[in-house]
Structure 1
Amino acid sequence: MRSIYSDQTPLLFAIDCIIFGFDGDQLKLLAIRRGFEPYKGEWSLLGGFVNKNESIEDAAARVLKDLTGLEGIYMEQMHVFSDPKREAKTRIVTAAVFALIDINKYEKQIHKEYHPEWFSINELPNLIVDHDEMVNMAKERLRYKAALHPLLFELLPSKFTIPQLQHLYEEVYNTTLDKGNFNKKILSTGLLVKLKEKDKLGSKKGAFYYKVDVKKYNAGFKSFLNFVHKPTLK
C-alpha cells in the first residue's frame, strides 16, 4: 500500500548557531570558514544537521560540542529559516539557535581545525546564505531578552565589577548609560553578592568584584525588569 508520505520531497533539517561572547571590551560573534562546497572557505555560522533520533535542542548541543568543545552553556531556539531557495542544490530547512558564552572561560576549548574567529558585532564579515539575517535577528532578540531577564550574566566570568557589567549592557544596546542610575538599578535587583576583592587595573581606588547569587538568579530569571528600555520585539 502506497504511503501518503511517498510523494513528499525529502529535505534536510539543519542547525545554525549564533554564538555571542564578551571579552570585557566588545560583544563578539564566533564564525568559521566553511569547509565544504558550496561556499567553501567563506565565513559561516557554526552549524550541522539534525539526526533522526535528535530533538532540535539535542542537535544544537551536539553541534556546539563537536565544533567548538563548548557544552553546558545558555542557548535558545530563535527561528526556523525555510526559504526553498536558501541553498542552491538541496532543500535545507534550518533552526537558528543563539548561545551566550564567557570567551575567557572557553577560549582554550575551541577546535582550531575549524579556523574559528571572533568578530566584533559591529565589524562582521559577510556571511553565507542568510546567516547575516540570522545574526541581525539574534541581536534584536538578545536586546529584547536582556531587558526582561538577567541573561547577560551568562557572558561574564564568575566574578566581575559593576563597571564591567555596565560596559556589557552598553555594548549590547550600542548606547551610553548613566553610571549612577545603572548602579542603583542593578543593585536593587538583589542578584549580586559583593566580594572583598577589588579590580585595581582601571584605577588606583579600584572597583569591588561581585558575583551572581545563583539561587536568586535561577528563581527570578523570569521576572527581571525593563533594564534599559521598553522592549518592542514580540
Structure 2
Amino acid sequence: MTKPHLLLVEDEPAIRTPLKRFLEREGFRITDVGDAKAARDALDKGAFALAILDIMLPGEDGLSLARAIRAGGELPILFLSARAEDIDRIVGLEMGADDYLTKPFNPRELLARIKAILRRAEPNGPVEGDDHVYRFGPFKLDSSAQTLSRDGDAIALTGGDYRLLLCMVERAGRTLSRDQLLDLTKGRQADPFDRAIDNAVMRLRKKLGEDGPELIKTVHGLGYSFAGKVETA
C-alpha cells in the first residue's frame, strides 16, 4: 500500500523534526521544509496528499502560501498556528483550509485530523455517498463529477464548499446543528468558539448568489437547513 505523502512546512526545527519522525512512524511519507520558498519548490517537484502549513513563517507566511496552493488546485490544507485568536482561524478557514490546529497540540490530535481529511479526500469518502445528480431550482449538483452549475454555467467550488453543499442537499428539509455539519464535513467536533461552519455557510451562500439565503436557512439556536426542493437523478 502506498504511503500518503504529506508536505510539512514548519520553520522551527524543534517542532518540525520530532513531528516528522512521529508521522513517519504512523505510516506517512513526509517532506519537511522550513519556509514557503522551499515549500513551493517541493510542490513543483512532488505530488502530495496534504499540506500542513505553519502560518507564521519567515518571509512569505503560511496564508499567502495557502492562497497560492488554492489557486493551483484542491490539495487539502491543515494550518498550524501559535496564535489562538478567532480572526486567524476564521481567515484560514475562509481561504478554504480543511482544518486549523493551535499550538501547542497533542500529536495524536493532529494525527486524527490528518486521517479525517484524507478520508474525506478519497473518491469513496464518507461524505460523498452514491453518485447522483441533484437538481434544485436552476442548479445542478453532480456528485460524480463533484461540480455545481446554474442554468448550465459552472460555479467554482472549493472542496469544502462542495462537501458542505452535498451534505445539506442530501439532507434537505432537516435542521442540522453546527456540530453535525462539522462532524459530517470535517470529521471533528466543534469547540465552543468554532465558527468554521458559520463562515463556510456564508461563503457557500455567496457562491449560490441571490438564491443563497433562501436555499440555506438559518434556524436560530439550532443550526442550518437546506430549504430547496431537491430532485435526484
TM-score of the pair, normalised by structure 2: 0.29
- Structure with greater proportional helix content: 2
- Structure with greater proportional strand content: 1
Q: Which has the larger radius of gyration?
A: 1
TM-score of the pair, normalised by structure 1: 0.29
Q: Which has the higher contact order (CA 8 A, sep 6+)?
A: 1
